Amino acid sequence: MAGSLIKIDEEIVTSAVASVTLTGIDSTYDVYMLRFNNVVASGDSGLYLRVTESGTPNTTSNYDRASKRFFSNASFTNISSTNADNLDLAIFQSGTAGNGNGIFYLFNFNNASEYSFITAETSNQDTRGYMSAGQGGGVFTSASACDGIHLFNFSTETFTSGTFTLYGLKK
């Protein structure tokens, strides 16, 4: 796998920001990977995302998702939604000292004739030491060329630290 991941864009958060946008998706690669590492949020929240078109987040209600979330201190849950204005594919609990990690694979993003698909695998440790994880995916149900990902939290919460990296998977 050495040399298979080509870094496209990276954002290292060291102080509170409301959102992170990573762009650079084009026809060079068929599949892209977004990795987030040691992401800390300002409170209990989800990691929401939208696709970008020409660098601008698409806020239409064209996002569908399904996932399973696992908790070390509770039973699992199934989560799904259709026609939402974002994808909620990760959870951060007790974010002031917890951290989240995950990998999203992005398919068909630059193909204007296909829907854009995302698969997600995430994990989180909260301030009490509890673990949570999720596995699932989502789809942007509009055939359009997408050039990136916009990540954000609840309207009043922020990312306080973490690394977000977008890679192309070498053909």
Burial class (CB in 10 A: 0-12, 13-18, 19+), 43: middle
If you count them, how many residues does the chain have? 171
Q: Which residue has the tokens 């004739």?
A: 113
| pLDDT tens digits, 12-50 | 999 999 999 999 999 999 999 999 998 888 776 678 999
Q: How far apart are the first and last CA of the chain?
A: 12
- Tell which residue, 57, 60, 36, 15, has the closest CA to residue 167: 36
Element housing 1 (H / E): none
pLDDT per position as a tens digit, 149-171: 999 986 678 888 899 999 999 87
Kindly report the pTM of this predicted structure.
0.92
Please name the residue that has the structure tokens 């601008």. 56
List pLDDT tens digits, range 44-93. 667 899 999 999 999 999 999 999 988 888 888 899 999 999 998 876 65
The CA distance from 95 to 40, in Å, is 6
For residue 47, what pLDDT is reported? Answer: 83
